[in-house]
């Protein structure tokens, strides 16, 4: 076995651009081991001070974003001339693989599942968009490469954004030589495709494309070349999701439309705002909780027999990532023979490096062709979560009325005007997961979540301390209630 300091290096699981991804183990005293991923700068770049500096900057940026929906950077070090980043281990699959697997099995992904995944991903982006420097000043980090390949779903139900690799701090000038930007052509925003100035709303557009495609079960921007795709992206001529996909709730369609607005100022302004909109939709839409569960869906798609132990797959994963440069702010596309023409039309396009963006230990190759536009097969099945064996075994025990999960739900939109609702903003010390009617609302702090009017029971849990508390909050129509819960006194 090869060691990098205290890390035992395992099989290479991804390769592309300037770095390779390896499965590894953190080794400690008395046989202690922890699975991790290690990103190694490739030999041809390791001796280049400029590339080494960019690699170090990648680690500094990513390590500063602390959020449950962002792949965490654990360490940055060097062994001789070899620089490497240590990332947390995510046992699961990327969203691209999940979509393709569902398509191959003829499984229909519920609209609420798509909303749930993008809501969680939006929270991770929101943490980056509100990144603050050590002095407290706001220094937003843009991802610039949001796509299904960079959204990871774990078998335990987590959703995480991966690879803030060469994202650029708005207030920093040393991140790249010329304002480098990367992104897969079909997931770029119009301003990104044209090499214009970016802001957090650009990442919102990219995540909006992901949501549109999950609902439509087809590509939004496609073409015979990256040049053709970029031309479509720059015009942002987007079909209404309701016209290409059946059964999309009106409220969700409105959220998609706003996320994909042509002008940046007309979109949700950052990942958090987009996430809150999706969160409110999930709270107002009458559906089975299991339909939005990432863990249940992953278990359904990937049985134990397909969850290979880490390190067993050693095939190199094909990188879909490409980069494009512009002196002010860039845009990107996959390298092709049409790069010269792309330089003329989109300012300056040149491939510098790609980056393997997956922090997964094992997953199948993308199988990109299985996600084609068009109507779903008549043999396509609707995913139905298995019933709970014992209501008392639920993560949350509803101490009030029993929620009948097996009652047939009518797929009808609940009008916000007809339903009397109010807003709740809740925080906790320390942090906590918040549950309402056996449904997790999210992790504190939560802002402006929509709940029915009246006295509502919530459960707060902190798995780290074991603290759990049930509270009753009075929700008033068209008003915001604010609550702070102290969990330190709870035994």
Selected catalytic residue, list 145, 163, 203, 226: 145
Inter-residue contact 251 to 281 (CB < 8 Å): yes
464 — phi, psi (to 5°)?
A: -70, -40
Q: Is 135 a catalytic site residue?
A: no
Residues 6+ apart with CB under 8 A from 67: 123, 124, 127, 128
Q: Are 414 and 285 in contact (CB under 8 A)?
A: yes
C-alpha to C-alpha distance for 395 and 434, rounded to whole angstroms? 12
DSSP per-residue letters across 449-475: EEEESEEEEEEEEETTTTEEEEEEEEE
Residue whose pair of structure tokens reads 């869906």 in the numeric block: 297
Total Cβ atoms within 10 A of residue 174:
10
- Which of 416, 371, 410 is closest to 212 using CA atoms? 371
Q: How far apart are the C-alpha atoms of 460 and 433, rounded to whole Å?
A: 6
**Which residues have a Cβ under 8 Å from the Cβ of 324 and sit 6 or more positions away?**
181, 182, 183, 195, 330, 331, 332, 333, 342, 346, 348, 349, 350, 351
Cα 227 from Cα 342, distance rounded (Å): 6
- Supply the residues annotated as catalytic: 145
């Amino acid at each position: 076995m090869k060691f990098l300091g205290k890390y035992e290096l395992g099989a290479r699981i991804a390769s592309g651009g300037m770095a390779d991804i390896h499965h590894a183990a953190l080794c400690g005293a008395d046989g202690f081991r922890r699975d991790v991923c290690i990103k190694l700068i490739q030999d041809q770049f390791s001796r280049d001070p400029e590339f080494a500096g960019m690699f170090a900057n990648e680690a500094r940026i990513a390590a500063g974003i602390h959020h449950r929906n962002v792949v965490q950077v654990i360490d940055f070090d060097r062994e001789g001339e070899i620089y490497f980043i240590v990332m947390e281990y995510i046992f699961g699959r990327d969203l691209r693989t999940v979509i393709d697997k569902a398509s191959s099995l003829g499984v229909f992904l519920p609209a609420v599942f798509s909303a749930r995944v993008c809501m969680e991903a939006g929270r991770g982006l929101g943490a980056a968009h509100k990144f603050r420097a050590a002095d407290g000043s706001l220094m937003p980090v843009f991802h610039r490469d949001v796509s299904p390949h960079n959204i990871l779903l774990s078998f335990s139900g987590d959703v995480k954004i991966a690879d803030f690799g060469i994202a650029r701090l708005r207030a920093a000038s040393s991140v790249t030589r010329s304002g480098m930007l990367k992104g897969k052509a079909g997931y770029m925003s119009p301003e990104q495709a044209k090499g214009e100035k970016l802001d957090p709303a650009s990442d919102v557009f990219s995540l909006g494309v992901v949501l549109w495609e999950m609902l439509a079960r087809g590509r939004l921007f496609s073409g015979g070349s990256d040049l053709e795709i970029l031309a479509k992206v720059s015009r942002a001529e987007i079909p209404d999701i309701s016209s290409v996909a059946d059964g999309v709730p009106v409220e969700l369609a409105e959220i998609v439309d706003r996320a994909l607005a042509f002008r940046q100022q007309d979109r949700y302004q950052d990942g958090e705002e987009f996430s809150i909109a999706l969160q409110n939709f999930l709270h107002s839409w009458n559906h089975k909780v299991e339909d939005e569960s990432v863990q249940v869906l992953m278990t359904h798609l990937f049985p134990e027999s397909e969850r290979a132990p880490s390190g067993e797959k050693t095939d190199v994963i094909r990188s879909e990532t490409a980069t494009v440069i512009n002196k002010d702010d860039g845009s990107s596309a996959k390298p092709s023979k049409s790069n010269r023409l792309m330089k003329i039309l989109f300012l300056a396009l040149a491939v510098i490096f790609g980056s393997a963006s997956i922090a997964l230990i094992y997953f199948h190759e993308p199988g990109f062709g299985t996600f084609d536009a068009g109507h779903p097969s008549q043999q396509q099945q609707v995913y139905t979560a298995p019933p709970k064996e014992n209501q008392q075994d639920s993560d949350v025990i509803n101490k009030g009325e029993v929620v009948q999960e097996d009652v047939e739900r009518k797929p009808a939109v609940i009008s916000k005007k007809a339903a009397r609702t109010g807003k709740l903003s809740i925080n906790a010390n320390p942090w906590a997961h918040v549950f309402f009617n056996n449904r997790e609302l999210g992790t504190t702090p939560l802002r402006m979540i929509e709940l029915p009017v009246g006295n509502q029971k919530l459960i707060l849990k902190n798995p780290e301390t074991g603290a759990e508390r049930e509270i009753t909050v009075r929700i008033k129509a068209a008003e915001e209630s604010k609550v702070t819960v102290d969990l330190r006194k709870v035994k």
